[in-house]
Structure 1
Amino acid sequence: MNTMTNTPSTKNLVDTAAANGSFKTFGKAIERAGMNETLRGTGPFTVFAPTDAAFDKLPVGKLENLFKPENKEELVSLLNYHVVNGRKLVADIGKWDTAKTVNGQSAPIKMTDDKVSIDGALVTSADIGSSNGVIHGIDKVNIPTKL
């Protein structure tokens, strides 16, 4: 697992994710959902960002369907299920049983062999710092039970 703890960054969460190169689909989803301004705002937020490979694991057509204008509310809910208020490093999150997400639902947290997972998604790149929060790359797109 790559960790870049305490790396000061002047880029906000959206720009940090874009610069990383592994979160292109996540960036498009944020844009389609109209969440750019929020995640460029003051925050701080902790974002569990699915990698492009994680989005590739979705059932065929799921992402295209979520990107349709009439499904914007569902897309926002799904993305908010990947956001937690505050700047939380993996070391802190690993001590939790659940994380209260911005969409209102709690996501289960597990710590196994020093690896943290949230709702079954393994954190593959941790503590990517930004000016208004932190990003943790995950290997699965988590779907909230209520969209």
Structure 2
Amino acid sequence: MKKNILSPIAVLTLSGFMMYGCASSAETTDATAMEQATYSETERMAGRTSDDEGLMAAEQEGQVLDVLVVEETAVVPIGTIAVTALALENPVDINDMFDDIDDTEQYSVMELARKSPNLSTFVKLIEQAGLEDDVERLDEMTFLAPTNEAFAKLSKDKLSKLLLTENRALLSALVQAHILPSEVRSNQLQSNTRIRMTDQSYLPVSTDNSGTITTVGNAQLVKTDVEASNGRIHVLDSVILPSAVEQL
């Protein structure tokens, strides 16, 4: 497993995706060190599977994509922000997102996300979780980026708890679930694909019969393949919730 040591804040594990036929050499990702962000091996939340059968299916039926994993070795205090500081509406029609940018590939994925007012809450949470520098160190990445209105679907109580300083590990886990440390095109997100959340937990990907509607867990891709210089953005209409966050 390729591992970059990030000092002093984090150790960043960069795991690529494994294609069909490579199950025997499948690598496992490091689980986050913080207890608050650990997941139960037997839980089935938001479409995740966590049993041996699911593990075998993930490796034998198609490709496995890993989410970003950041193991924090020190916590840098960040002030709590209020839910009212988050934008929970989309100022721009989803179909028109990024249309005002002539060449999206001149910008990095992070820069491109900052340029979309519909993704301002996702960007703010990346910063609030203290992951901005770690994300910018990635050579390639894919954002499964929830819109502002996707976050509005969460209860204000859950959002408020996620923004508390003491729940930073949970916020970090939520953000990492939306970042793949490799470039993944939308046509790679097929029904035989799963996204590995932890060693024992997978998020299923599904497409409809026409192949025009793709969902990741409970979230639908509503705009795909916005290309950046180091990856791409797929826009989601809902937020992917790791088990620990689901139970918050």
Question: Could you say whether these structures have the same fold, taking a TM-score greater than 0.5 normalized by the shorter chain as the test?
Answer: yes
Contact in 2 for aligned 1:13/1:39 (Cα 8 Å): no
| Structure 1 residue 43: Cα displacement | 2.9
If each structure's strand is expressed as a fraction of its own residues, which one has the higher value? 1
CA gap of 1:95–1:86, structure 2 versus 1, over 3 A, is farther
**2:210 is the counterpart of 1:129:** no
In 1, are the aligned partners of 2:191 and 2:204 still within 8 Å (CA)? no
Structure 2 residue 156 is the aligned partner of structure 1 residue 65: no
Work out whether 1:144 is the aligned partner of 2:242.
yes
AA aligned to 2:219 is A
Aligned positions of 1:1-147 closer than 5 A:
9-94=105-190, 96-101=192-197, 105-112=201-208, 113=210, 114-146=212-244
Amino acid at match of 2:161: N
Structure possessing the higher relative contact order (Cα contacts under 8 Å, 6 or more residues apart) = 1
Asked if the contact 1:87–1:134 (Cα under 8 Å) also holds between the matched residues in 2, the reply is yes
Q: Shift of the alpha carbon at 1:128?
A: 1.3
- The alpha-carbon distance between structure 1 residues 89 and 134, as it changes in their structure 2 partners (threshold 3 A), is same
SS at match of 2:184: coil
Kindly tell me the number of residue pairs found equivalent between the two proteins. Answer: 144
**C-alpha distance in 1, partners of 2:192/2:233?**
17
CA contact (8 A) 2:104 2:112 kept: no
With the length of structure 1 as denominator, give the TM-score of the two structures: 0.86
Equivalent residues of 1:44, 1:86 under 8 A apart: yes
Letter of the aligned partner of 1:81 in structure 2?
A
Deviation at 1:124, TM superposition (A): 0.6
Identical counterparts, % of pairs: 25
Structure 1 runs (4+) greater than 3 angstroms displaced: 1-4
Name the TM-score, length of structure 2 as normaliser.
Answer: 0.53
> Separation in 2 of the partners of 1:14 and 1:65?
25
Gapped regions of structure 2 (runs ≥ 5): 1-93
Give 1:19 shift: 0.5
Gaps of 5+ in 1: none
* Residue 41 of structure 1: how far off its partner (Å): 2.1
Over the aligned positions, Cα root-mean-square deviation in angstroms equals 2.2
Counterpart code for 1:138: L
Of the two, which has the highest radius of gyration? 2
